[in-house]
Structure 1
Amino acid sequence: MDPGHDPSGLLDGGRKHLPRSAKSWNKLLDKVAPQYSLVGATLFFAFAAASALGELGLSEDLAVFMSRIEALASSSHLLSARW
């Protein structure tokens, strides 16, 4: 089997929908860029916050807090499933 061949045809089918010209690519990128910039900014600040918490030694406290919330949420889910 050819290593470059996609047996499912998924990539071959998707390729048909890609822009063909530079102008079309530019139009597509202009359309999706705001969505990616929002995601990128969110990830950047999430990693920065995580780093700051780690530097302050609060990451362990946050882990305990999050595990308590998770336990509470799962127990309330079990309670609501009974009703």
Structure 2
Amino acid sequence: MNQTTLKAILEQAEHWAEEDRQDLADYARVIEARRTGTYRVSETEREALTRSLKEADRGEFATDTMISAAAKRFDR
């Protein structure tokens, strides 16, 4: 892919739905992490991590029953 093609895709992406633009940004972060060895979390991921840490600090963990139920849903 040449530079012109990449620029054209990015220009088209400006008109995409927010969710699709976010997906593109997420893919780009993964590619950059693979190239540099450093992954930079998105704001959405940062918020989820912060929420999870606060839940853990409060001792809010999934019960064994909850984990077993989830495992059964995904077992094939």
TM range (shorter): 0.3 to 0.5
Greater RCO (CA < 8 Å, at least 6 residues apart): 2
Highest CA radius of gyration, 1 or 2? 1
